[in-house]
Structure 1
Amino acid sequence: MRQYGEGVKEDALRLLCGEKIGSGSGRDVYVFEPDPAYVIKIEASAGCYQNILEWENWKLLKDGKFAKYFAPCKLISPFGCALVMRKTERLPVSVKFRAPRFLRDVKGENFGMIGKDVVCHDYAHLAFRVNDRIIPIELSRIE
Structure 2
Amino acid sequence: MGSLRGLRLAAGSYFRFCERDAFSSLRLTRNSDLKRINGFCNKPQESPKPPTHTYGHRVPLHKPTDWEKKILIWSGRFKKEDEIPETVSFEMLDAAKNKVRVKISYVMIALTVAGCVLMVIEGKKAAKETSLLTSLKLERKLV
Give TM class, smaller chain: under 0.3
TM-score (norm 2): 0.17
* Larger relative strand fraction: 1
Higher Cα radius of gyration = 2
